[in-house]
Amino acid sequence: MTYDPTGHLLLTPVDREAPARVQRLRQLGFGERPDPAFDDFAHKLADVTGAPYSMVNFIDENRQFFAGLHTPGGMHSGTAGAAVAGGEVSRFMARDHGYCPHVVVRRKALVLEDVCDYPRFAGNPVVDEIGIRSYLGAPLIDRTGIALGTICVVDTEPRPWGRPGLETIKSLAAELIEQIHRREDGGV
């Protein structure tokens, strides 16, 4: 783990699995371009949870890529840059922004009903820059044992996700991993 020497807040964790993840993502053909099937899955995440933003997120050594993305207005950009710029949500975000890198390294789902209640997470740049107040995410661990990324939903308001939210996001992550495996095996 790394620490901010001025505030001693926990920053993005060290990700020793990143090189193997990048190789696996390349093998699968994920992480470089939007995918309509992942966009559809992100829409499903939003529908099931009632969250305004949802993502299928693949993570490499330096950035996160939202191969699947749902936003309230359906607006998003394929270019790199700030997560929110000119009313559009980018499909790229720095690795040190957000909570998905923590989920990938922990290899466990994460429920933050109000990120401001957790000093470890409240200082994350997405709180001030984007206004994220609530997060629910689960890792996408494939058949090789590699955490490819996450599925997640976020809101600009605190949300009482609770145990039902946790079980829902874990179940949806398992569903998406099955889809990824069928795709890799040549199925639909």
The domain spans of the chain are 18-184
Helix (H) or strand (E) holding 45, with range, is helix 36-49
Q: Which CATH superfamily is domain 18-184 in?
A: GAF domain (3.30.450.40)
pLDDT one-digit tens code per residue, 135-147 = 999 999 999 999 9
Q: What is the mean pLDDT of the chain?
A: 86
Q: 88-90 and 76-77 as β-strands: parallel, antiparallel, unpaired?
A: parallel
Residues forming beta bridges with residue 68, ordered by sequence position: 56
Q: Angle at the Cα of 68 (from 63 to 69), degrees rounded to 5?
A: 90
Residue 138 confidence (pLDDT): 98
From 131, 151, 31, 139, select the one nearest 89 (Cα to Cα). 131
Which runs of consecutive H residues, i.e. helices, occur in 50-150? 100-106, 119-122, 125-129
Structure tokens given for 43: 């829409």
Contacts of 180 (CB under 8 A, 6+ apart): 28, 140, 142, 148
In this prediction, residue 171 has a pLDDT band, given cuts at 50, 70 and 90, of: very high
pLDDT one-digit tens code per residue, 47-75 = 999 999 999 999 998 899 999 999 987 65
From 116, 121, 107, select the one nearest 10 (Cα to Cα). 121
Q: Would you say residue 188 has pLDDT above 80? A: no
**Long-range pairs for 3-7: beta carbons < 8 A, 24 or more residues apart:** 4/123, 7/123
Average pLDDT (28-45) is 94
